[in-house]
Structure 1
Amino acid sequence: MEKFMHYEEEIICQCTDSHTFEKTLKEKGVKYHYLPLEKEKVIKYWEDEKRHFAYFHNETYVFITDSIPDDMNWENIYYDYKGQAHNEEPMKLPTRAKVLCQKAEERLNENKEFTFENFYKDTSESELNMSLIHLGSSLEEIREMDHHDVDFSFLK
């Protein structure tokens, strides 16, 4: 069992599969249920009057936490664990501005002949703004919110 930090929350990692973990919960008389998620396998359970979540990654690891990840991305727990195992710093939670800008850029890329080399020199402020508007935001709104992790220097 190992402990590490993910978005300032302590996570416990165990090398076991969901069947073994579930069997242990049953043997202890712990009530649990699977969250209704399509891709991730997550159990919510109560032990010692405290709520916990167990996220299973590839039937190899179980990650135990007391809260749902702030970005609601369970898989990032695994990536953060592996990164820290290779002496990387814990992941930092991206801002909403960063997530919206990345999605806007993806949308723009779908409509262009895209190469990584020319994206940043070929994207205009109005193109990015229109893409953000389609996501229910705007460049003005992004600039007003915390956007410390967004680089706008590429806009022409």
Structure 2
Amino acid sequence: MAVRVQTADFDVGAEYQQLVNNNPADGAVVFFVGLVRDLNQGDQVKGLFLEHYPGMTERALEQIEADARARWPLGRVQVVHRVGQLEVNDQIVFVGVSSPHREAAYEASQFIMDFLKSRAPFWKKETVRDGSDHQQRWIDTAAKDTEALKRW
């Protein structure tokens, strides 16, 4: 597995190739890419700043991956999460999973994303437009993200 937390953007094609190159055992690959959207909680988003605790964040992501492997037969897993200042439509996260079968790949990728959204130690601060001015606010874990954990 590859877990990376980085400021630099990532190449979706290169991440996909890491999942499939020299991997004849897996017949399914599923991946998800999250982007910075322009609207959140009814406000126009201008940017997003993500902080993390180096070392602790990577260990949390590795534990989420280990939990997924305990539930499904997985081949390869790629998790890349960006930190620092991001703009609208920038890529934030890549989660990719390979498995011998599609059901496991779909479920494991959703599991990893659900737990990443709720349990990985990232702190997010949005810059939003407030009338003609801009303000910053910290973003809490959304109730829907915490609720999503119940299915697992």
Q: Is the structural similarity TM-score above 0.5?
A: no
Higher Cα radius of gyration: 1
- Could you state the TM-score of these two structures normalised by the residue count of structure 2? 0.27
Structure with greater strand percent: 2
- Could you state the TM-score of these two structures normalised by the residue count of structure 1? 0.27
